[in-house]
Each structure stands twice: as C-alpha cells, then as structure tokens.
Amino acid sequence: MADNTWNRRHIISLEDFTPNDYQTILQTAASFREVLSRRTKKVPALQGQVITNLFFEPSTRTRSSFELAAKRLSADILNFSPGSSSLKKGETILDTAKTYLAMGTNLMVIRHQQAGVPTIIAQEMDRINSGVGVLNAGDGQHAHPSQALLDLFTICHNFNPANPHIDQLQGKKVVIVGDILHSRVARSNIWSLTTCGAEVHLVAPPTLLPKHFLEAFKQPIRQDNEATAPTERKLYLHWQLEPALENADFVMALRLQHERMSQHLLPSLREYHQQFGITRERLQLCKPTVKIMHPGPTNRGVELTSDLMDDPELSLVPMQVTSGVATRMALLYLIGGVK
Ligand code: CP
C-alpha cells in the first residue's frame, strides 16, 4: 500500500491538487475500504504515532470519523475540546498546538470557525522543524478538503466499487445547490470535481451566489505531465434550479444556515424550499440514474425532502458517511508516511 510519490505533509486546501493526487487518494481509500470489510478491521500502519483532533468548532461526522480512522490505523488518538481546555484560561491556539506537540503528536487534525487557523499552525510546525503533518478538518468558509475527498470517493465508488477511478467523472454533471457563498464544502468540491473532469453547476439565490464567485476559480487545471497544457474548469452558475437539474448525474444539496435569514439573505426557509428544495418531482429532470448527496448536518424538508434522504435507491448520504472513514484513513496514512 506504500505510495512513494506522495509528498504532501499537510492537506489544507485542494487548490493545487493534481489528477494524480486524487487518484492516489482514491486507490488508497479503496484498499482501506477493503480492510474495513474484513472481520478484523485494523492495520498496524500508524502504530506508535499520536494523532490529535483539535476541534475548536462543533462536529459529529468529521471528528468521529477521523477518530475511528486513527484507531483503525492503530494510532493513539487525543481529542481536544475547547470548552474544557486551558483556552478558557487565555492560552493561545499556537501554545495549545505546541502543548500537544510536546506530548509527541505526529499528526494534527484541525477544525476552526476562522479561515486560516490550520495554515498558521502548519506554518509554525514547519518553522520549528517539528515534522508534524496538519490536516484541515474545516476552517471558516475556506476549505473542507476531507469532505470533498470523501465525496469524490463516494461518486467514483458508485460507478465502480472495486476500482474507483477519477476517469469515471469525465463529462459527468454534478449540481451543487444551496448556500454556495458561505460553504467551505462547495469550495473544496469545486476544486476536486472540476480537476477530475466533471462539469460542476452551482445553483442558489443571487444573494448566496454572486456573479463574482467564479473569479476565485479561474486558475486552470494543472496536469501531472508538465508537457500537457493546463485546461479550463467546467464551472457554471444558475439562479434557478430547474435548468441546472437537466440531465444531472449527481445533485449535492448543502446545509442552509439559519442565520442567513437574520442577515436578510433569504426571506424564509419555506420559500427557499419552494424554489430550491430537492423534491422527487424535480429529480425527474435529471438522468434516471441520478444520485443525491448532502455533507450533513441536514435540515430535513428544507434542502431536500425527508423521504428522498432516506431512499436507498437515490440517496448516497449514508454512503458518504461510511466512505469518510476509509478516505480519512487514506489521508492520515499518506501524510503520516511523509518524512
Ligand atoms: N460534513 C461535516 O463536516 O459534518 P460535521 O460538521 O458533523 O463534521
């Protein structure tokens, strides 16, 4: 399972990931998914290493699946909770990180409500030559790379469970609907899906998807072979749901945050559902094989109807959560192997 080409010590954003990086992650995650199907679901890959979960913001899925991934790799895991920590006594975030470094931490998984915190910690870990790898588990509105990577794995696994490959995304239409402007999940998915050859269609009311949003994604796709010219990303904006859904292969709904109403970005959740909610009727516009996705947590009956979320023929939502463990095992394994 060793991958000698992987040389990223940190995973902060997917902006500069190449097709080869994504394929390495898919292949490694597929191997770990096979491990997780065995009777003994544990490998000694990171035995003796210490992984610290530094979650400064609430999480159910990401935190628990990183913890389980670390345990399945036989690492020791430390879980930091801000409410019961010395942050309350005025200790800084950097001093908190250095405290865990002094206990022998090898990898840090960091979530923070403010964009940039994982970057600052990674820079400090490099500056002091700690050898520690940092994985961004979601920072403000910036990035949520492990979510986008598990989404990529889920989509490719849906086509070929034995051999998920990025080529399966070529020409596929993925619709992302919801609060795009404030979503770190949307940003990370746009980088990964467009780099792997999918057409990504973004849909939201204009207040949650301004025209200038595309400017951030002008950077062409960097190919692994330097001789191959970079290519443009296939990324489109829509302010109405129905035209975007036509012939879609995947529809990814995003969580709507309730504070958007108090910020006057949305009239009401009911009106949002009427215009942008995913319903069985609207899915008729998509390909017959369409699948729906949601990173969670979900507002049932707002982003999508409750029955759709629980429909095993249509919904990949439980599969996203399951894929999260194998994908995060792959990420910990890959960055844990960088010397
Ligand atoms: N999708 C996601 O990041 O969920 P949590 O906030 O529960 O980790």
CATH code of the domain containing 106? 3.40.50.1370
pLDDT at res. 257: 83
Domain identity same for 33 and 169: no
7 falls within a domain: no
Q: Are strands 76-80 and 173-177 parallel, antiparallel or unpaired?
A: unpaired
**3-class DSSP state of 174:** strand
| Residue 257 CB less than 6 A away from ligand 1 | no
When comparing pLDDT for 232 and 169, which is higher? 169
Atom of ligand 1 nearest to the CA of 138: 3
Section 244-248 average pLDDT: 98
Nearest-CA neighbor of 181 among 152, 160, 201, 202?
A: 202
Domain identity same for 162 and 290: yes
Section 191-199 average pLDDT: 97
329 falls within a domain: yes
Domain identity same for 173 and 93: no
**Is residue 86 over pLDDT 90?**
no
When comparing pLDDT for 35 and 84, which is higher? 35
Domain identity same for 230 and 332: no
5 falls within a domain: no
Which residues does residue 292 pair with via DSSP β-bridges, in sequence order? 251, 315
Domain identity same for 242 and 253: yes
Section 125-153 average pLDDT: 98
When comparing pLDDT for 315 and 259, which is higher? 315
126 falls within a domain: yes
Q: Tokens for 106, please give them.
A: 């090898």
Query: Over pLDDT 70: what percentage of the chain?
Result: 99
| Residue 138 CB less than 6 A away from ligand 1 | yes
- Best mutation site among 53, 54, 59 for ligand 1, i.e. most ligand atoms within 8 A of its Cβ? 59
Atom of ligand 1 nearest to the CA of 137: 3
**Is residue 225 over pLDDT 70?**
yes
pLDDT digit string (tens) for 291-305? 999 999 999 999 999
Cβ atoms of 169 and 198 closer than 8 Å: yes
292 falls within a domain: yes
Domain identity same for 131 and 195: no
Q: Tokens for 278, please give them.
A: 């995913």
Number of structural domains found in the chain: 2
113 falls within a domain: yes
Domain identity same for 174 and 312: yes
Amino acid (one-letter) located at 338: V
pLDDT bucket at 3, cuts 50 / 70 / 90:
low
pLDDT at res. 4: 64
Mean pLDDT of the chain: 95
Using alpha carbons, list the distances in angstroms from residue 2 to 6, 27, 330, 335.
9, 11, 11, 11
Section 316-329 average pLDDT: 98
Which residue, chain included where needed, has tokens 């095992």?
A: 329
Domain identity same for 208 and 130: no
pLDDT at res. 24: 97
Q: Ligand 1: distance of its center to the CA of 76 in Å? A: 22
Domain identity same for 151 and 129: no
CA gap 105, 114 in Å, rounded = 23
pLDDT at res. 1: 57
Section 127-148 average pLDDT: 97
CA gap 93, 327 in Å, rounded = 27
Cβ atoms of 141 and 183 closer than 8 Å: yes
pLDDT at res. 260: 77
Using alpha carbons, list the distances in angstroms from residue 255 to 190, 252, 269, 294, 317.
16, 10, 11, 8, 13
pLDDT digit string (tens) for 6-51? 999 999 999 999 999 999 999 999 999 999 999 999 999 999 999 9
Domain identity same for 202 and 266: yes
1 falls within a domain: no
Domain identity same for 233 and 156: yes
Residues 6+ apart with CB under 8 A from 156: 26, 164, 165, 166, 168, 169
Beta strand segments in 5-92, E = 50-55, 76-80
Residues in the chain: 339
Specify the residue with its C-alpha closest to ligand 1, atom 4. Answer: 61
Domain identity same for 167 and 303: yes
pLDDT bucket at 223, cuts 50 / 70 / 90:
confident
12 falls within a domain: no
Structural domain boundaries, residue 233: 145-320
What angle, 0 to 180 degrees and rounded to 10, lies between the N-to-C axes of helices 117-127 and 93-102?
A: 50
